[in-house]
Amino acid sequence: MAKLKLAVLISGRGSNLQALIDACADPAYPAEIALVISNVAGVQGLDRAVGAGLPTLVIDHRKYPNRTEFDLEMTQAMEAAGTELVCLAGFMRLLSEAFVAHWHDRMINIHPSLLPAFKGLDVQARAIAAGARFSGCTVHYVRHEMDVGPIIVQAVVPIHAGDDAGALAARILAQEHVIYPAAVRWIAEGRVTIADERVSVDGAQPPNVGAINPVP
């Protein structure tokens, strides 16, 4: 059976790219990375991709007169590589409405909060400042509005007394590396459907336990 072809878009260290690389190394995993694109040259994520023998491309957004032309260049490169699913993995550029529409229901993102809470940047510091007891991460389909779209899967982590943003981010990142490959697997296996902007995953079950923080 043919594997789902992924394009992974990065801007930095590429830790979630590495999680996908590791998942794809399993011959039984139903997806493969066809292309890695970075809008920044020399980042660690490109080194990870090259080390795994993956095709890479740097498309510097600063060389394009507008966002539309930059996005068009990415689309042409991804289509030439046979891309079927776009995975945003720390890609720090806003995307044009036309680009998002072109890849509608074929582009996913991972965000380090429990959406719809704490959209945008500096989410760990904001969660701590708000006194939240839990945070986490979300894999979702991309829509034009930032950090909005049908949610595929979320992971929850506790916020500890004395946490700073870095400590919380590290705890969340460990879960990102679990749920992103899982979401891609489900999509590749044809188990994900979207109806009325809500996702269902065939055969997936919710947990039967809750969590309390702090524990009484």
pLDDT in 10s for each residue of the chain, 216 residues: 799 999 999 999 999 999 999 999 999 999 999 999 999 999 999 999 999 999 999 999 999 999 999 999 999 999 999 999 999 999 999 999 999 999 999 999 999 999 999 999 999 999 999 999 999 999 999 999 999 999 999 999 999 999 999 999 999 999 999 999 999 999 999 999 999 999 999 999 999 999 999 999
Q: Do both 63 and 5 map to the same domain?
A: yes
Using CB atoms within 10 A of its CB, is residue 129 exposed (0-12), middle (13-18) or buried (19+)?
exposed
Q: Do both 25 and 89 map to the same domain?
A: yes
Q: What does the DSSP assignment read for 35-91?
A: EEEESSTT-HHHHHHHHTT--EEE--GGGSSSHHHHHHHHHHHHHHTT-SEEEESS-
The tokens for 185 are: 């697997």
Strands 134-141 and 107-111: antiparallel
Q: Which of 86, 103, 120 is the C-terminal boundary of a domain?
A: 103
pTM of the model: 0.96
User: Please, what sign has the CA dihedral across residues 187, 191, 192, 195?
Assistant: positive
- Alpha-carbon distance 181 to 23, whole Å? 6
Q: Do both 139 and 121 map to the same domain?
A: yes
Could you tell me which of 122, 147, 136 has the C-alpha nearest to residue 172? 136
Q: Which of 103, 131, 151 is the C-terminal boundary of a domain?
A: 103
Question: Residue holding tokens 């032309």?
Answer: 69
173: left (phi over 0), alpha (psi -120 to 50) or beta: alpha
Strands 85-88 and 56-58: unpaired
Q: Do both 54 and 137 map to the same domain?
A: no
Q: Do both 87 and 140 map to the same domain?
A: no
Q: In the annotation, is 144 catalytic? A: no
Marked catalytic residue, from 61, 104, 111, 177: 111
- Alpha-carbon distance 98 to 95, whole Å? 8
List the domain range (segments joined by +) for residue 56: 1-103
The tokens for 89 are: 């993995």
Strand (E) positions, the chain?
4-10, 31-38, 56-58, 85-88, 107-111, 134-141, 151-158, 192-195, 198-201
Q: Do both 90 and 1 map to the same domain?
A: yes
116 preceded by a cis bond (ω within 30 of 0): yes
CATH number of the domain encompassing residue 116: 3.40.50.170
